[in-house]
Structure formats: C-alpha cells, structure tokens
C-alpha cells in the first residue's frame, strides 16, 4: 500500500512538472474553450433560444449554457493529450519503464490517468475563473461541488484516452483516430445544444447524443455547478469509466504485446 502511494505521488509529480514546464500546453488548453465562449457563444446567442430545463430555473444566456460543455471540452482534450503522450512514451521507450515496475500494472495505469485528471482540473478551474471575470458566474457552492464530479468525468475521459492509446500502434495514426473521437464526441453531445433542440433536427442525432458518454459527463458537470445531483449521468460516467479502464487493462495486458519489440 505504501509503495503504491509513493508511486502515485511520483507519477502525479512528474505530470505536474511536465505541465509547469509546458506553458504552451496550459495556454492552448485555456485559449480553446475561451474562443468558443467569447466568439462562438456570442455569435450563437441570438440564433439559439433556450427554454428552461433543469438544472436552470430561469432563462439563461447561451454563454451560461455552454460553460459546462467547455469544461468537459477541456477534460476531453486533456484526456486525448494524455493518450497522445502515452503513445509517444511507448514509441520513445519510456513506457517500458512504467510497465516493468513491480507494482500492479492496473495501479500504474490508474496513476497515469489520475495524474492527467489533476492537470485537467487545474485547467478547468482556470477557465472557470476567467469565465467569472467576464461575468459568467455560478453559485459559490457549485465551484466546490463540481470538484468530485470533475475527478469522475476526468477519469472517464482519461480512461477513454488510455484505451485508445493501447489500440494505436503508431504515433502517425493518432491524428486520424482523434478526428474520429474528439469531434464526434464534442459535437454529438449536449455541450453546445440541449438534447431537446437536437431532437428537433433529427431523432437519430438526438439518440446518438443521448448515449454519448461525453453528454453525460457534461450534464453531470452542469448539474454540479448548480449544486444539484444528476444520478443517471453519474451512473453513465461511472460505468463508462469502468468499461474503458477495463478495456485499457486488456489493451496493456502483456499477453497482447502492446509494446513492440525491436526484432
């Protein structure tokens, strides 16, 4: 147990140091949602009418609606970036160091995901702080209550990234895979438009949005920001985390030879 905690601390510290040294990464992670918030949301404000849906108890502006989705976006990109760095580590060989540690592989991979989550949470709070500065604020309790939710949603997105990294054989294939994950996950979700709005356009699209794990992550964040619970979203996120993390363990199982040998 003690060894496992030492290992967790070291992996999280390493990720934090990487994060501190890679200022561009932090900046990019902030600029992306801010562009959506300031430019995209301002443009769509007039075009999109939003009815009163839970957790909102009154009419809200589009900027307010979009913020939880952008928090999810930060975590989605972070999860995928962690996955990219895992593929890179594997290509460069440093993943071998991790996988040959005597500690259980499941724990090592969980530590990796959790380290990525901690970085994504810092990014989300930085984004929420800037949003507050420009006038988009949430109840004070929401900022606290959203923390455990961000851990859970971050773990889910991190485990999706981990699973993907176990299936991608080469770094060059990563960009292609990302196009089939990040964009569909984001656009076919409730991040930008509520579910009922999507059903007006297409029942099929509505159904896809409804089963998209990212939609549930966004909705859980949205409810938590208003101090409310969303049990179905919590269940979806938890189940997805378990499924994708189990898939990652399968993917990184030494029987499957995810690490290519130099023959």
Partner 1 sequence: MSGVRAYPGLACAVLPTPAVTSSDRIPSETPRLQIENLSYNYGAKAALSDVSFAVHGGQFCALLGPNGAGKSTLFALLTRLLVPPKGNILISGTPLRQNPRAALSKIGIVFQKPTLDLDLSVERNLFYFAALQGLSKTEAAPRITEALERLGMAERAQEKTRSLNGGHRRRMELARALIHRPSLLLLDEPTVGLDAVSRTAITEYVHGLTREGLAVLWATHLVDEIEDQDQVLLLQQGRISAHQTALSLRGSSSLSDRFKAMTAPE
Question: Given the rule CB under 8 A, which residues bind partner 1?
Answer: 2-4, 6-7, 9-11, 14, 17-18, 21, 92-94, 96-104, 108, 253-255, 257, 259, 261-263
Q: Taking the mean position of all CA atoms in its chain, how far away is CA 65?
A: 18
Pick between residue 102 and residue 135 the one whose CB is nearest to partner 1.
102
Q: How far apart, in whole angstroms, are the C-alpha atoms of residue 216 and residue 232?
A: 8
Task: Tell me whether residue 112 or residue 216 sits nearer to partner 1 (CB atom).
Answer: 112
Given 3-state DSSP classes, what are the helix, strand and coil percentages for the chain, each rounded to the nearest 5? 80, 0, 20
What tokens were used for 9? 């601390």
Tell me how far, at minimum, the Cβ of 94 lies from partner 1, in Å: 5
Question: Residues with Cβ < 8 Å from 121, sequence gap 6 or more?
Answer: 147, 150, 151, 154
CB of 167 to partner 1, least distance (A): 17
Q: Residue 22, by phi and psi: left (phi above 0), alpha (psi -120 to 50) or beta?
A: beta
* Cβ-based nearer residue to partner 1, 47 or 257: 257
Q: Which is nearer to partner 1, 133 or 262 (CB)?
A: 262
**Minimum Å distance from CB 2 to partner 1?**
7
Q: Least distance from C-beta 252 to partner 1, angstroms? A: 10
């Amino acid at each position: 147990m003690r060894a496992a905690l030492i290992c967790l601390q070291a992996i999280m510290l390493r990720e934090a140091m990487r994060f501190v040294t890679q200022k561009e990464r932090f900046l990019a992670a902030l600029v992306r949602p801010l562009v959506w918030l300031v430019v995209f949301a301002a443009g769509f404000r007039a075009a999109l009418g939003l009815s009163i849906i839970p957790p909102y108890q009154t009419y809200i502006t589009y900027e307010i609606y979009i913020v939880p989705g952008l928090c999810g976006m930060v975590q989605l990109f972070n999860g995928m970036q962690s996955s990219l760095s895992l593929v890179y580590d594997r290509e460069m060989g440093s993943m071998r160091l991790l996988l040959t540690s005597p500690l259980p592989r499941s724990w090592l991979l969980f530590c990796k995901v959790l380290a990525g989550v901690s970085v994504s949470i810092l990014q989300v709070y930085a984004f929420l702080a800037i949003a507050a500065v420009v006038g988009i604020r949430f109840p004070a309790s929401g900022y606290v209550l959203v923390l455990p939710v961000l851990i859970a949603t971050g773990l889910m997105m991190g485990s999706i990234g981990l699973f993907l990294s176990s299936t991608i054989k080469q770094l060059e294939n990563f960009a292609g895979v990302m196009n089939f994950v990040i964009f569909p996950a984001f656009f076919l979700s409730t991040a930008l438009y509520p579910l009922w709005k999507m059903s007006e356009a297409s029942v099929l699209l509505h159904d896809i949005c409804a089963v998209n794990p990212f939609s549930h992550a966004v909705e859980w964040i949205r409810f938590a920001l208003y101090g409310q619970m969303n049990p179905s979203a919590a269940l979806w996120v938890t189940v997805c985390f378990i499924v994708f993390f189990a898939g990652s363990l399968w993917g990184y199982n030494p029987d499957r030879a995810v690490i290519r040998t130099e023959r």
